[in-house]
Amino acid sequence: MPLEIVRDPRELRLRVEDARRDGRRIALVPTMGYLHDGHVALLAEGRRRADLLVLSIFVNPTQFGPNEDLARYPRDLDGDLAHARAAGVDLVFVPEVAAMYPDGYQTYISVRGLEQGLCGASRPGHFAGVASVVAKLFHLAQPHVAVFGEKDYQQLAVLRRMVRDLDFHIELVGVPIVRELDGLARSSRNAYLSTSERVDALSLVRALGRAEALVRGGECDTGRLAAAAREVLAGAASARVDYVELRDAETLETVARIERPTVLALAVFVGKTRLIDNRVLTTTSI
């Protein structure tokens, strides 16, 4: 089957309604394009789980703050289509901004607890933009299953809660972080990094590794674990911490000790590029 490219939301709707009528199972992988191996892993997971694999590519303006990188966010549609073909995507949805946000658009979904703190603190409005556009994509693509990366840990928590709270009949699947050979989490924003920043960017995964090693050695105090992670990050000249936090892996509530699965989440500016990474820490007794 050749790759089908759809730009009109109404056309997408017709296509997926046909598929539903034929009893085909639909998977959606929502992305902002500039695909890398992390996205390829999402597509592979979607392919495995569905008859019709839909990839959406939409750099969603409502999830960017006024001082963020919307205008310079990297784009490469030809490269994305090559990745999509190789991954066995059936349909690529590439809407225009005006088609997604018609005049007078004003509806936003808030997941009031989970969107607080972490990336929500430094990116006000970000998760309302994410949740709303994902709800729109769910309504347009009508997937049985939707696949997201675990690198955007808080995003996945917000979306899982939205799906449960609003009774979307969609299975959300999280896919583990895909890393470069040296450990850097794959991200479209890695393209912004200079050579020396690329080296400093490794401080994130090293900070996660240090904390994990301490936990393995018996350390359960989240304050001491955060301090150890910060110490590693401080060793990278171009790195400036946005946050280093340990939160309950499910509720994202702050925790003083690791007694249940706990996510160590990092956001770090390396030069002007904001990178995130995370790891779920568990004591051996859990």
Q: Which residues bind its own copies (CB under 8 A)?
A: 9, 13, 102, 104-114, 131-132, 135-136, 139-140, 161-162, 164-169, 251
CB of 5 to its own copies, least distance (A): 19
Structure tokens at 24: 């085909």
- For residues 134 and 178, which CB has a smaller minimum distance to its own copies in the complex? 134
Crossing angle (nearest 10°) for helices 126-141 and 9-21: 50
Structure tokens at 215: 């936990």
CB of 82 to its own copies, least distance (A): 29
Catalytic site residue 39? Answer: yes
- For residues 88 and 113, which CB has a smaller minimum distance to its own copies in the complex? 113
CB of 152 to its own copies, least distance (A): 18
- For residues 72 and 169, which CB has a smaller minimum distance to its own copies in the complex? 169
Contacts of 236 (CB under 8 A, 6+ apart): 199, 200, 201, 202, 203, 270
Residues paired with 247 in a beta bridge: 254, 263
Structure tokens at 56: 């959406």
Residue among 36, 39, 126, 139 flagged as catalytic: 39
Residues paired with 240 in a beta bridge: 269
CB of 60 to its own copies, least distance (A): 14
Return the ∠ at Cα 6 (arms to 172 and 81), rounded to 5°: 80
- For residues 111 and 215, which CB has a smaller minimum distance to its own copies in the complex? 111
> Which residue, among 242, 210, 251, has the nearest Cα to 227 in the 3D structure?
210
- What's the order of all strands across the beta sheet hosting 273-281? 239-248, 262-270, 273-281
- For residues 100 and 147, which CB has a smaller minimum distance to its own copies in the complex? 100
CB of 260 to its own copies, least distance (A): 15
> Which residue, among 240, 251, 230, 244, has the nearest Cα to 273 in the 3D structure?
240
Cα–Cα distance between 73 and 9 in angstroms, integer? 23
* Enzyme catalytic residues: 39
